[in-house]
Amino acid sequence: LFCLETLLKIYPNASIIWTHRNPEEAIPSLCSLSETARRIVSDDIDRKRIGEICLDYFMNDFKMGYPARQKASSGQIYDMSYRELVRNPIETVRNIYNYFGINYTEPFDKKLHNFINHLHKNHAGKHVYSLESYGLDSKQIRERLNDDYEIFGDLL
C-alpha cells in the first residue's frame, strides 16, 4: 500500500486485490515474521520494539494507501477479506475472477481444488503469536487504526 499511488501511475489499468485482515491478528503475525527474520542475524531481539515498528508500519501503510485508493478507477480495486479467503478460498477466487471479468474455467477450478487440498495435507501446523508478546494490546491497536476499522470494519 505504501506504493499504491506509484503502482497506479505506472500501471493505470492494473487490477488490484486489497486484502483486509483484522489488525489485531495481522500485526502480531507481522511481528512474528519480523522477529524470525531478525533472529537469522542477531540474538538481541527486542520484541516490544518490534511491536512498535510493526504498529507504525500498519498505520503508515493505511495512511498512504487509502488516499491513493481514491485515485483508482471505479472497479479497479477488489476488497478481499482475509477471513473469507481462509474460510473459503475457492469461492474467494471465484469472486475475484467474477469481479474483474476473468473467465473462471473448469480446468482451472480443478487445479485450484488440487492445490488447496495439497496445502491442507502438507500444512505444518498452527503458528502461534500474540499482541501481548510484542508489548501491544487490542485497545492500543483500535485507537491507532481507528480509520481502518471505521472504513473497512466489516471486512476485517
Q: What is the pLDDT of residue 122?
A: 72
CA distance 99 to 95: 6
| Burial class of residue 99, CB neighbours in 10 A (0-12, 13-18, 19+) | middle
Does the structure show a pLDDT above 90 at 126? Answer: no
CA distance 132 to 117: 33
Does the structure show a pLDDT above 90 at 153? Answer: no
The predicted model gives 78-87 an average pLDDT of: 94
Q: What is the pLDDT of residue 77?
A: 96
Q: What is the pLDDT of residue 155?
A: 76
Q: What is the pLDDT of residue 41?
A: 94
The predicted model gives 63-77 an average pLDDT of: 91
Q: What is the pLDDT of residue 125?
A: 67
Q: What is the pLDDT of residue 124?
A: 66
CA distance 133 to 153: 25
Name, in order, each residue with C-beta under 8 angstroms of 82's C-beta and a sequence gap of 6 or more: 19, 20, 21, 22, 26
Q: For all residues of the chain together, what is the average pLDDT?
A: 91
The predicted model gives 97-111 an average pLDDT of: 97
The predicted model gives 23-29 an average pLDDT of: 93
